[in-house]
């Protein structure tokens, strides 16, 4: 030190001395010692009141230092050629599809940014399914699907015609779906990844479920990995981050996230004013993940090594994502001026670099060496999940057409000049004469590219993605399982929820099916009376039970164990649905026919996780969704945000869902039996949604008529004929409200009405069947018209019809037109209230009195009785006609 040094210089000298000390310790004693010393310094500072700001971030440089980088084992030049061809074809698919049908859509820029990330996976890591190995599970970012198709084309799995029919699925020869949909391409896609946010969530639970299967002894551990290829914009969805702590808690080192940080989403930058990689790094490190950042390409390594001032890393840390995007568009001179130009030390650092060299500095996600090293480290990492954040450029290679521009996400067209530029940049052998056509290009089968690509896939066990439908019809012996529920409960009163839990316990004990049953519950087991299953089946916990539960002495103690069957997901309906999807698709994805029974508060089902239910259908998941505590008036006391009177409407939407609202234990048993038979014995893709209730009453025996069982399944059957009366009516009831119809049947006798009571187990089944007939009749005008089941059932019935349920009036209204005379619908439109069942049924006008009045009015409208009788009934039954409409309250 000399006197002439100013304070800034002194600080700098001190900084460099400390840095050198650290380097020395690292070289002589290793990384652990460095960590110890830093910890010591932290303690020392804290003891003296110097609080150290918490940061979960590491500097904005690659996590893996160059000298620890695994050596890339591939043929780099050949892989680049292959990747370039895939880039071209992926782009051409979209361009051509949009020329053929303007507005048909598709995305070019996402795959353009992800190509290296995916190709390293395809050539070196992602293993296909072989005899002895189920293969890795790769969730491909949905809108980059053209990249997967373009690769499948080179691998010979798809033809040129297939590529031409991208987004043209209704073509007579079939086309390629816009995004990954197992529902639409069941032999190709495994995981629907299109609804942003669900990929991360479902991948986490899938990885956990893979452990569950091993722990429960249903599958051998094989080392297979779950890879989720994600977008940085997508990480803003709450579901993306919502389960990341579960992944560490469960030590999911079989899980790897790769987040393609192209710093852009659809409209613009993900974090123009910040740094998305740093923000996500903090979240994931905080959650205990192994985080690997791949920020810069290899051509930055020398600059970083030569930078003794620390200013380069400082600049990297400072630069905003919005600026980084700007550097993509700017040339080398611009980068020199605006990136390096901020500090004289940095200008000095790059003084021997030409503008072209600066312009060519790459982002980490476009450097195969860096990406390979990150993947290898992730693959080998033990004890926690890994997330790789790879910085890329959105629309990489699209040049003027969109590289790094805010419009790039939606860019679907390239003009001739832009095509030429793309062709030249990636060296695709397409001549100027042909370029306007954007022809697909595939090298000959004996070309080095195709030979190499096929060799690599063969070495990794074959092509992916490839969905294997491992379904084999099973000879199930399920009849005996339900017999006991068909005979009724005698004097004993129970709720359908209790009957269901009893059935579930019985299924779990069954020697054939028991090991396949997966009960799933989001912290409501006690609400549903399921705690008896804790002891019987055990709550799954990979680490077993490391503590003595407080209720150890009791019969129903909280029994966590490694071989537990119950997935107690805590308060996460979304997580539970993700588990449902994993268990419900195990027949294809895990070669084992697990049978999920996901039981939840029905209010927090379809409306809360409807998107995941839709995804479950797309995944071809099978299983039972049990909406418990259902019914707007049957769930007493809970009020507006708990009482469900509409999930059956929402259940109308996905056609692969069958929805039932049974009233009695025998109905429930018949439906569960039917579900097991169709989904597991016959291997059909269905999801059965059953609502069960918590009102207790005596469960009758199943009427001994041949039509009853069929009626339960088809949605409606006559439960009890009326005894006597001059006038004829039919009362339709569902769920617990069927009991109100039975009470009304009695009341109506005093008005000389003979009312038959029908149990409607499923309006959805009735509706689906009716519209199917209607459609057939429309298209076959000269053939004998088909009559819907409902019309056939009621063809000979005289009299009036009144339907009541614990759901909105529109539910029975959906099938009204197939009734022989007008149907009056009672239902629970409006917000719930906390009160007793009796008061709620009065408030919503669905109790026996309202059914009685509605029936009398239908009779009066039909000219059978006088309207004055209706008025008389209103007053006799103490109904206030000036009562406010619950719909508006």
Ligand X SMILES: Cc1ncc(C[n+]2csc(CCOP(=O)(O)OP(=O)(O)O)c2C)c(N)n1
Q: Is residue 658 a contact partner of residue 686, using CB atoms and an 8 Å limit?
A: yes
Radius of gyration of the chain (CA): 33
Q: How many CB atoms sit inside 10 A of residue 373's CB?
A: 26
Q: Is residue 15 a contact partner of residue 22, using CB atoms and an 8 Å limit?
A: no
Nearest-angstrom CA–CA distance, 258 and 378? 10
Q: What is the bridge-based pairing of β-strands 697-698 and 493-494?
A: antiparallel
- Helical packing angle, 665-676 and 706-714, nearest 10°: 70
Q: What is the bridge-based pairing of β-strands 595-601 and 753-760?
A: unpaired
Q: Which does 474 bind (CB under 5 to 8 A by kind): ligand X, Mg ion, none?
A: none
By beta-carbon proximity to ligand X, the closer residue of 144 and 814 is: 144
- Sign of the C-alpha dihedral computed for residues 812, 813, 815 and 818 taken in this order: positive
CB 118, min distance to ligand X, A: 11
By beta-carbon proximity to Mg ion, the closer residue of 233 and 631 is: 233
By beta-carbon proximity to ligand X, the closer residue of 177 and 761 is: 177
Q: Which helix (H) or strand (E) holds 742?
A: helix 738-749
Q: Which residue is nearest to ligand X (CB)?
A: 231
Phi and psi, residue 383, nearest 5°: 100, -20
By beta-carbon proximity to ligand X, the closer residue of 118 and 597 is: 118
CB 328, min distance to Mg ion, A: 13
- The gap from C-alpha 839 to its chain's centroid, in whole angstroms, comes to 39
- Helical packing angle, 145-154 and 109-120, nearest 10°: 50
Q: Is 304 exposed, middle or buried (0-12, 13-18, 19+ CB in 10 A)?
A: middle
By beta-carbon proximity to Mg ion, the closer residue of 272 and 341 is: 272
By beta-carbon proximity to Mg ion, the closer residue of 155 and 323 is: 323
By beta-carbon proximity to ligand X, the closer residue of 653 and 746 is: 653
Nearest to 802 by CA among 861, 750, 852: 852
Q: Which does 714 bind (CB under 5 to 8 A by kind): Mg ion, ligand X, none?
A: none
CB 231, min distance to Mg ion, A: 4
Nearest-angstrom CA–CA distance, 753 and 724? 7
By beta-carbon proximity to ligand X, the closer residue of 280 and 854 is: 280
Any idea what DSSP says for residue 463? Answer: -
Helix or strand or coil: residue 513?
A: coil
Q: Is 657 exposed, middle or buried (0-12, 13-18, 19+ CB in 10 A)?
A: buried
Nearest-angstrom CA–CA distance, 623 and 513? 13
By beta-carbon proximity to ligand X, the closer residue of 110 and 633 is: 110
- H runs (alpha helix) in 483-523: 496-509
Nearest to 636 by CA among 420, 333, 843: 843
Helix or strand or coil: residue 470?
A: coil
Nearest-angstrom CA–CA distance, 810 and 825? 8
By beta-carbon proximity to Mg ion, the closer residue of 234 and 569 is: 234
Please, which residues have CB within 8 angstroms of residue 222's CB and are 6 or more apart in sequence? Answer: 132, 133, 134
Q: Which does 828 bind (CB under 5 to 8 A by kind): ligand X, Mg ion, none?
A: none
Q: Is residue 713 a contact partner of residue 674, using CB atoms and an 8 Å limit?
A: yes
> Which spans of this chain sit near Mg ion (rule: CB under 5 A)?
231-233, 262, 264
CB 395, min distance to ligand X, A: 9
Q: Angle 837-838-842 (CA atoms, 0-180°, nearest 5)?
A: 115
By beta-carbon proximity to ligand X, the closer residue of 231 and 627 is: 231
CB 260, min distance to Mg ion, A: 6
Please, which residues have CB within 8 angstroms of residue 806's CB and are 6 or more apart in sequence? Answer: 630, 631, 632, 633, 634, 645, 661, 693, 734, 735, 736, 737, 827, 828, 846
Q: Which does 195 bind (CB under 5 to 8 A by kind): ligand X, Mg ion, none?
A: ligand X
By beta-carbon proximity to Mg ion, the closer residue of 364 and 645 is: 364
- The gap from C-alpha 881 to its chain's centroid, in whole angstroms, comes to 47
Q: Which does 701 bind (CB under 5 to 8 A by kind): ligand X, Mg ion, none?
A: none
CB 113, min distance to ligand X, A: 6
CB 202, min distance to ligand X, A: 13
Q: Which does 266 bind (CB under 5 to 8 A by kind): ligand X, Mg ion, none?
A: ligand X
CB 60, min distance to ligand X, A: 19
CB 262, min distance to ligand X, A: 5
* 801, β-bridge pairs: 730, 823
CB 276, min distance to ligand X, A: 9
Q: Which does 734 bind (CB under 5 to 8 A by kind): ligand X, Mg ion, none?
A: none
Q: How many CB atoms sit inside 10 A of residue 93's CB?
A: 28
- H runs (alpha helix) in 780-843: 789-794, 810-813, 837-843
* 803, β-bridge pairs: 732, 825
By beta-carbon proximity to ligand X, the closer residue of 390 and 846 is: 390
Nearest-angstrom CA–CA distance, 387 and 380? 13
By beta-carbon proximity to ligand X, the closer residue of 201 and 659 is: 201
CB 394, min distance to ligand X, A: 5
CB 235, min distance to ligand X, A: 7
Q: Is residue 462 a contact partner of residue 120, using CB atoms and an 8 Å limit?
A: no
CB 327, min distance to ligand X, A: 17
CB 276, min distance to Mg ion, A: 8
By beta-carbon proximity to ligand X, the closer residue of 196 and 450 is: 196
CB 159, min distance to Mg ion, A: 31
* 540, β-bridge pairs: 561
By beta-carbon proximity to ligand X, the closer residue of 91 and 793 is: 91
> Which spans of this chain sit near ligand X (rule: CB under 6 A)?
110, 113, 143, 194-197, 231-234, 260, 262, 264-266, 270, 394, 409
Phi and psi, residue 567, nearest 5°: -95, 95
CB 264, min distance to Mg ion, A: 5
Nearest-angstrom CA–CA distance, 666 and 480? 13
CB 107, min distance to ligand X, A: 7
By beta-carbon proximity to ligand X, the closer residue of 410 and 677 is: 410
Q: Is 861 exposed, middle or buried (0-12, 13-18, 19+ CB in 10 A)?
A: middle
């Amino acid at each position: 030190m000399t006197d002439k040094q100013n304070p800034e210089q002194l600080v700098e000298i001190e900084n460099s001395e400390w840095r050198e000390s650290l380097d020395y310790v690292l070289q002589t004693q290793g990384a652990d010692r460095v960590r110890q010393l830093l910890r010591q310094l932290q303690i020392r500072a804290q003891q003296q009141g110097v609080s150290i700001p918490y940061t979960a971030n590491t500097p904005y440089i690659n996590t893996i230092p160059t000298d620890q980088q695994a050596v890339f084992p591939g043929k780099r030049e050949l892989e680049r050629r292959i990747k370039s061809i895939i880039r071209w074809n992926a782009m051409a698919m979209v361009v051509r599809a949009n020329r053929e049908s303007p507005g048909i859509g598709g995305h070019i820029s996402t795959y353009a940014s992800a190509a290296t990330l995916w190709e390293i996976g395809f050539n070196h890591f992602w293993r296909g399914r072989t005899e002895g190995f189920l293969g890795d599970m790769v969730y491909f970012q949905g809108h980059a699907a053209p990249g997967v198709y373009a690769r499948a084309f080179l691998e010979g799995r798809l033809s040129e015609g297939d590529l031409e029919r991208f987004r043209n699925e209704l073509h007579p020869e079939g086309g390629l779906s816009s995004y990954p949909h197992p529902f639409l391409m069941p032999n190709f896609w495994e995981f629907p990844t299109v609804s942003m946010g669900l990929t991360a969530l479902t991948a986490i639970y899938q990885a956990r479920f893979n452990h569950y299967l091993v722990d429960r002894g249903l599958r051998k551990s094989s080392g297979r990995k779950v890879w989720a290829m994600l977008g940085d914009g997508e990480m803003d969805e709450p579901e993306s981050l919502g389960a990341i702590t579960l992944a560490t808690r469960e030590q999911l080192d079989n899980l790897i996230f790769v987040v393609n940080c192209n710093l852009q989403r659809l409209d613009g930058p993900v974090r123009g004013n910040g740094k998305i990689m740093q923000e996500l790094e903090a979240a994931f490190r905080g959650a205990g993940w192994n985080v690997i950042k791949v920020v810069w390409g290899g051509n930055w390594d020398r600059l970083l090594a030569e930078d003794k001032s620390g200013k380069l890393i400082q600049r990297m840390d400072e630069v905003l994502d919005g600026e980084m995007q700007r550097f993509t568009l700017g040339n080398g001179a611009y980068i020199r001026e605006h990136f390096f130009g901020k500090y004289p030390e940095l200008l000095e650092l790059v003084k021997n670099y030409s503008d072209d060299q600066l312009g060519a500095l790459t982002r980490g996600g476009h450097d195969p060496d860096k990406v390979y090293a990150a993947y290898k480290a992730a693959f080998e990492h033990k004890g926690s999940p890994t997330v790789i954040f790879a910085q890329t450029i959105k629309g990489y290679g699209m040049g003027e057409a969109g590289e790094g521009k805010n419009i790039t996400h939606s860019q679907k067209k390239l003009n001739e000049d832009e095509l030429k530029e793309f062709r030249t940049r990636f060296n695709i052998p397409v001549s100027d004469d042909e370029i306007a056509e954007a022809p697909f290009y595939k090298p000959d089968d004996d070309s080095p590219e195709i030979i190499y690509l096929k060799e690599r896939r063969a070495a990794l066990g074959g092509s992916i993605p490839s969905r294997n439908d491992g379904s084999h019809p099973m000879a199930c012996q399920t009849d005996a399982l339900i017999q006991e529920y068909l005979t009724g409960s005698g004097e004993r009163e129970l709720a359908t929820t209790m009957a269901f839990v009893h059935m579930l316990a019985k299924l779990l004990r069954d020697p054939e099916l028991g090991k396949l049953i997966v009960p799933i519950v989001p912290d409501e087991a006690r609400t549903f009376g399921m705690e008896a299953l804790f002891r019987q089946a055990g709550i799954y916990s990979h680490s077993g039970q490391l503590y003595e539960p407080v209720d150890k002495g009791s019969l129903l103690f909280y029994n966590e164990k490694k071989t537990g069957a119950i997935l107690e997901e805590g308060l996460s309906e979304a997580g539970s649905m993700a588990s449902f999807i994993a268990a419900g698709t195990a027949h294809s994805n895990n070669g084992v026919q697990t049978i999920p029974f996901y039981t939840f508060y029905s209010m927090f089902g379809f409306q809360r996780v409807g998107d995941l239910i839709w995804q479950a259908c797309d995944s071809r998941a099978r299983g039972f969704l049990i909406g418990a505590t259902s019914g707007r008036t049957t769930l007493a006391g809970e009020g507006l945000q708990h009482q469900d009177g509409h999930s059956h409407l929402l259940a109308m939407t996905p056609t692969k869902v069958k929805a039932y609202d049974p009233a009695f234990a025998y109905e429930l048993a018949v439906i569960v039996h039917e579900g097991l038979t169709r989904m597991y014995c016959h291997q059909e893709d269905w999801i059965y949604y059953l609502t069960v209730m918590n009102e207790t009453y005596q469960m009758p025996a199943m009427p001994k008529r041949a039509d009853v069982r069929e009626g339960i399944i088809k949605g409606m059957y006559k439960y009890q004929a009326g005894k006597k009366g001059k006038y004829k009516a039919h009362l339709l009831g569902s769920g617990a409200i069927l009991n109100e119809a039975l009470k009304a049947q009695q009341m109506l006798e005093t008005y000389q009405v003979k009312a038959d009571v029908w149990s409607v187990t499923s309006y959805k089944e009735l509706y689906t069947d009716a519209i199917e007939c209607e459609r057939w009749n429309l298209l076959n005008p000269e053939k004998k018209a088909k009559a819907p089941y409902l019309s056939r059932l009621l063809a000979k019935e005289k009299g009036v019809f009144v339907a009541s349920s614990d759901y909105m009036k529109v539910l029975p209204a959906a099938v009204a037109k197939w009734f022989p005379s007008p149907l009056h619908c009672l239902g629970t439109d409006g917000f719930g209230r906390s009160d007793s069942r009796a008061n709620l049924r009065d408030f919503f006008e669905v109790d026996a009195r309202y059914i009685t009045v509605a029936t009398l009015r239908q009779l009066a409208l039909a000219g059978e009785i006088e309207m004055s009788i209706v008025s008389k009934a209103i007053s006799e039954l103490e109904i206030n006609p000036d009562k406010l409409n619950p719909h508006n309250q």
